[in-house]
Structure 1
Amino acid sequence: MGKIVTLGEVMMRLSTNPGERLAHAQQFDVCYGGGEANVAISLANYGHEVVFASKVPNNALGQSVKKFLNSYGVSTTNLLFGGKRLGLYYMEAGVAKRSADVIYDRLGSSFAAITEIEWDLEALFEGVDVFHISGITSALSKEWQKRTIDLIKFAKNTGVKISFDINYRSKLWSLEEAQETIRKILPYVDYCSAGELDARYLLNIPKCSENKGIKNEMIYYYQEMQGMFPNIEVFYSTKRAIYSVTENDLTGNIWMDKKYYESDCHHINPIVDRIGGGDAFSGGVLHGLLCQNDPQTIINFATAASALKHTVLGDCNQFSVSEVNDFLDSGSGKIKR
């Protein structure tokens, strides 16, 4: 097992019930989440030593976040307290062909308002195997665009592997801002979550044409991305066929040792909660890499973990290694007796 640091903003999520519009909601379901926090929880569930670094207000909400993370075994020794408020986001649950919708309310939050690095970085990265961060953190402010690169460089210089999820959010920053910052980050990255849309729109890789003679388009995109950033050892992503909000097909793929591997397709119906599925997938990939599993085992496990995440409410994965493996072995909804 390994030691991992993840760093990012944890938020309170306020969700409507299916069929209820935000404008008419009288009550919300409440949970906590955020990309890096969700990955931290997955890895802690799998038995790794995980530290989550962030900043929350010094009030009852901040304490609630700490208790939430601790309940999953995530260390909060680097969870700072201070600032004015906890970031929020509102989710209007989707139904049938109508997609879910998100409204962010995180401007001026304790984490977003950080302008200088407030952690003791030597202590934070001591003995750490992997540092995981995402493009969402970079998108929070001009300061965070700089701070993200500073953090990655420091961790890299201490021998820590860098895991980066591009995780582009158009509601947080422009495509042009994202392109500029992400291209500065990727030369320091070892493991990268990036799919076709990231390749085409953030890295300006031309769309794969039929005359390329490549059976699987993702092989083309991974080859092109690795050509641009040869330092990146592993690329991974999911492919999703969407029939409705509650019915999807999910397949995972990974590019490792200059070879392409793909999982079986998981038909998920009904989907209880899709948010956090990508973070569960990233957590599964990092678990496999830390355990030095072979690429096919890694992608099978990660995709199964993501599929399982779709079956529970909230942002985070709630399953252990044995539960994911049992799901892989059974491949059905049989009762466990």
Structure 2
Amino acid sequence: MKKIVTLGEIMLRFSVEAGERLVQADKLSMHYGGAEANVAISLSNFGHDVYFVSKVPENPLGKAVERHLKSYDVHTNYLIKGGERLGSYYLETGVGQRNSQVTYDRKYSSFSMLRPDEIDFDEVFSGVELFHVTGITPALSPSLKELTLLALKKAKEKGILTSFDFNYRAKLWSQQEAGDTFKTLLPFVDICSFGELDAVYILGLDQADPSLSKEDRLRYYYSKMVELYPNIQYISSTFRTIISASTNTLQGNYFTGGELYQSEIFQIDHIVDRVGGGDAFAAGILHGIIENKPSQELITFATAASVLKHTVHGDCNVFSVDEVAAFANNGPGKIVR
């Protein structure tokens, strides 16, 4: 069992029923979620000893968050209480050719007001093997930019493997601001998740020859990234083709040691809930790395974990290692007896 820490905001999600617009809705379903919390829950389901660092208000919503995390055996020792409100967002689920839409209500949340001096990283990182954070966290406030950088530096000082998922959100900040911030963080990152568009528009890397295949373009960008930041040992991303809001294809990519490994192309047909699919993939990658899985097995597992997440409501994945492995090996649609 590996000790893992994730840092980020957990929010209350309100979702309309499929086929309704938010302006029409007279009832909403509730779930709790957030990128780093979703990764924490997946890794806990995979059998790891996971701690989630965040800040929530001292009110019934904050208590509900704690209960939610504990229900998946995620430790809440470092869940700080304070501030005025829990961030939230509203999800309007896409149908057919209509995309899903997210409306945030997270300004001045408890987490966005978190200060670096509120966390004792010597205590938080004691005995930890892996630390994970995403680009959403530094987007939320100037103090969280400082906190994210401090956390990554502290982790590296203690010899902890670090993971950073770009997770760029255009509704939170500009590409320029994200790029400037990420460039200060990347020297302290071992595991990184980003795609071709991130390489070009966030990092400003020179574009690959457009005549190349998408696989060769990805090899180009990932090789450039390792040249710029030789500390980065593992890079991952997915290729997603959107046929409709309920039918996608998904293929995982994993780059290490100068080699690109890819999963098979999975067809996801009928998507129940796409939110959190990327976090399930990230957790699968991290699980494979810390368990020293062979690269091809690792990327197949991570992609299968993401595919399964699309079949359940809510932000977080609820499948075990054995369930993901069985799906990856046996394929979809069978009755497991």
Using structure 2 for the length normalisation, give the TM-score.
0.98
> In angstroms, what is the RMSD of aligned CA positions?
1.2
Match of 1:55 in 2: 55
Match of 2:241 in 1: 241
Match of 2:11 in 1: 11
Please give the per-residue CA displacement for 1:236-265, whole angstroms capped at 9, x wherever unaligned: 000001100000000001001111100001
Match of 2:41 in 1: 41
Match of 2:170 in 1: 170
Aligned-partner Cα distance in 1 for 2:77–2:176: 36
Cα deviation, residue 207, structure 1: 2.3
Does the residue aligned with 1:36 lie in a helix, a strand or coil?
Answer: helix
Match of 2:188 in 1: 188
Does the residue aligned with 1:24 lie in a helix, a strand or coil?
Answer: coil
Residues 1:271 and 1:215: Cα distance change in structure 2 (over 3 Å)? closer
Match of 1:179 in 2: 179
Aligned-partner Cα distance in 2 for 1:127–1:322: 26
The residue type equivalent to 2:108 in the other structure is G
Aligned-partner Cα distance in 2 for 1:324–1:281: 11
Aligned-partner Cα distance in 1 for 2:290–2:269: 31
Cα deviation, residue 203, structure 1: 1.1
Does the residue aligned with 1:261 lie in a helix, a strand or coil?
Answer: strand
Aligned-partner Cα distance in 1 for 2:96–2:202: 30
Match of 1:294 in 2: 294
Match of 2:144 in 1: 144
Aligned-partner Cα distance in 2 for 1:91–1:314: 11
Aligned length: 337
The ranges of structure 1 where at least 4 consecutive aligned residues each deviate by more than 2 angstroms after the TM superposition are 210-216
Match of 1:330 in 2: 330
Match of 1:316 in 2: 316
Gaps of 5+ in 2: none
Cα deviation, residue 39, structure 1: 0.2
Within a 5 Å distance, the mapping from 1:250-261 to structure 2 comes to: 250-261=250-261
Cα deviation, residue 210, structure 1: 4.8
The residue type equivalent to 2:148 in the other structure is T
Within a 5 Å distance, the mapping from 1:199-214 to structure 2 comes to: 199-210=199-210
Cα deviation, residue 331, structure 1: 0.5
Q: Does 236-245 or 116-125 show the bigger shift?
A: 116-125
Paired residues of 2:162 and 2:190 also in contact (CA < 8 A):
yes
Paired residues of 1:235 and 1:255 also in contact (CA < 8 A):
yes
Within a 5 Å distance, the mapping from 1:18-167 to structure 2 comes to: 18-167=18-167
Cα deviation, residue 330, structure 1: 1.1
Paired residues of 1:214 and 1:220 also in contact (CA < 8 A):
no
Paired residues of 2:15 and 2:28 also in contact (CA < 8 A):
yes
Paired residues of 2:116 and 2:146 also in contact (CA < 8 A):
no
Aligned-partner Cα distance in 2 for 1:22–1:206: 40
Aligned-partner Cα distance in 1 for 2:289–2:215: 27
Aligned-partner Cα distance in 2 for 1:99–1:307: 19
Aligned-partner Cα distance in 2 for 1:312–1:148: 31
Please give the per-residue CA displacement for 1:20-60, whole angstroms capped at 9, x wherever unaligned: 11112111110000000000000000000000000101111
Cα deviation, residue 98, structure 1: 0.5
Does the residue aligned with 2:275 lie in a helix, a strand or coil?
Answer: coil
Aligned-partner Cα distance in 2 for 1:5–1:289: 15
Residues 1:18 and 1:213: Cα distance change in structure 2 (over 3 Å)? closer
Cα deviation, residue 117, structure 1: 3.1
Using structure 1 for the length normalisation, give the TM-score.
0.98
Cα deviation, residue 214, structure 1: 8.8
The residue type equivalent to 1:237 in the other structure is S
Does the residue aligned with 1:117 lie in a helix, a strand or coil?
Answer: helix
Does the residue aligned with 1:22 lie in a helix, a strand or coil?
Answer: coil
